[in-house]
Amino acid sequence: MRIDVLTLFPEMFGSPLEYSIIKRAREQRLVEIVLSNIRDFATDSYRKVDDKPYGGGPGMVMLCKPMFDCFEHVQAQSTEPGNVILLTPQGQPLTQEKVVELSALPRLILIAGRYEGFDERIRTGLNAEQISIGDYVLSGGELAAMVVIDAVVRLLPGALGDEDSAADDSFSNGLLEYPQYTRPEEFRGMKVPEILLGGDHGKIEKWRNEQRIERTRKWRPELYEKYISNIKNNS
Ligand code: 6GU
């Protein structure tokens, strides 16, 4: 997979993409991440990338011209046109289901905005899908783009080691994870559940499944309702 990122702050993307699973996936060439600075495509002497909104109002709006020029330059670097994604709080909320869908694509072109937003013609003219990472406002799309990259790259075949598994992830079947324990058997009076020490794998699996359901019901009732209605619809 190739992931392009169009941003005014490529430097922000350094360390989050240089550790652990994402680092390994890049080293193994499972993903190529290419950062492009939109400001490099600003042509005037001030290298302007934003301007005041038509109709008035606070803040600044990202200009079409540098964005389109940057986009066209980047898109031409590969024969695969890619899926264009604008990171914006107006977007569809990112879910694990969406992450799985994105991880199957050959190329993503992520566009991270700043200021009050993008000129609307950037969205329409680049035929971009919009994604948000939650109902709160960040100062720019960069952190959201990094979240998308992290979530997607760890699902690429070969990115997770044998000992890890995406199948057990929270949300992988609409439920939260079961509780995990490691040594020691007792810590400050808190004991590891007996059933995990017994070695009966059938019982352990059943217990873990019950824990997933119970924790989802207690902590994420809206996910639990969805889980229950899925079961009903499938039976
Ligand atoms: Cl994608 N961008 C910004 N600026 N804020 C957000 C977001 C994106 N997702 C949630 N909040």
Shared domain for 34 and 92, answered yes or no, is yes
- Give the pLDDT mean for 16-23: 94
* Tokens of residue 86, six digits: 């604008």
> Can 101 be counted among the known catalytic residues?
no
Residue to substitute in 86, 102, 114, 132 for testing ligand 1 pocket (most ligand atoms within 8 angstroms of CB): 132
Mean pLDDT of the chain: 95
In a domain, 43, yes or no: yes
Q: State the Cα–Cα distance between residues 97 and 88, nearest whole angstrom.
A: 19
> Can 200 be counted among the known catalytic residues?
no
Single out the residue of 100, 112, 101, 108 nearest to residue 80, CA to CA. 108
CATH number for position 16: 3.40.1280.10
Shared domain for 67 and 133, answered yes or no, is yes
| Its pTM surpasses 0.75 | yes
**Domain region containing 208:** 170-234
Residue 179's pLDDT is: 98
Number of domains in the chain: 2
Bridge partners (DSSP) of residue 87 are: 112, 131
Q: How far is the CA of 147 from the centre of ligand 1 (A)?
A: 11
Shared domain for 140 and 223, answered yes or no, is no
Shared domain for 125 and 212, answered yes or no, is no
Q: Show which of 98, 118, 153 is a domain's final residue.
A: 153
- Residues 118/88, Cβ–Cβ less than 8 Å: yes
- Strand locations in the chain (E): 2-7, 32-37, 50-51, 61-62, 83-93, 107-112, 117-118, 129-132, 186-187, 190-191
Shared domain for 60 and 97, answered yes or no, is yes
What is the band of 167 on the pLDDT scale with cuts at 50, 70, 90?
Answer: confident
Shared domain for 82 and 140, answered yes or no, is yes
Q: How far is the CA of 91 from the centre of ligand 1 (A)?
A: 8
Query: What one-letter code names the amino acid at 113?
Result: G
Residue to substitute in 85, 115, 137 for testing ligand 1 pocket (most ligand atoms within 8 angstroms of CB): 137
Shared domain for 106 and 66, answered yes or no, is yes
What SS3 class is residue 165? coil
Bridge partners (DSSP) of residue 231 are: none
Shared domain for 137 and 178, answered yes or no, is no
Say how many CA atoms lie within 13 Å of 69 toward its Cβ: 12
Give 194-206 pLDDT, tens digit per residue: 999 999 999 999 9
Shared domain for 174 and 149, answered yes or no, is no
Q: How far is the CA of 83 from the centre of ligand 1 (A)?
A: 19
Shared domain for 113 and 175, answered yes or no, is no
Angle at 35 between CA 164 and CA 170, to 5 degrees: 25
User: Under 8 Å CB-to-CB from 175, ≥6 apart: which residues?
Assistant: 212, 213, 215, 216, 223, 227
Q: State the Cα–Cα distance between residues 27 and 119, nearest whole angstrom.
A: 37
In a domain, 165, yes or no: no
The answer, yes or no, to whether residue 164 has pLDDT greater than 70, is: no
Is the CA virtual torsion 196, 21, 150, 83 positive or negative? negative
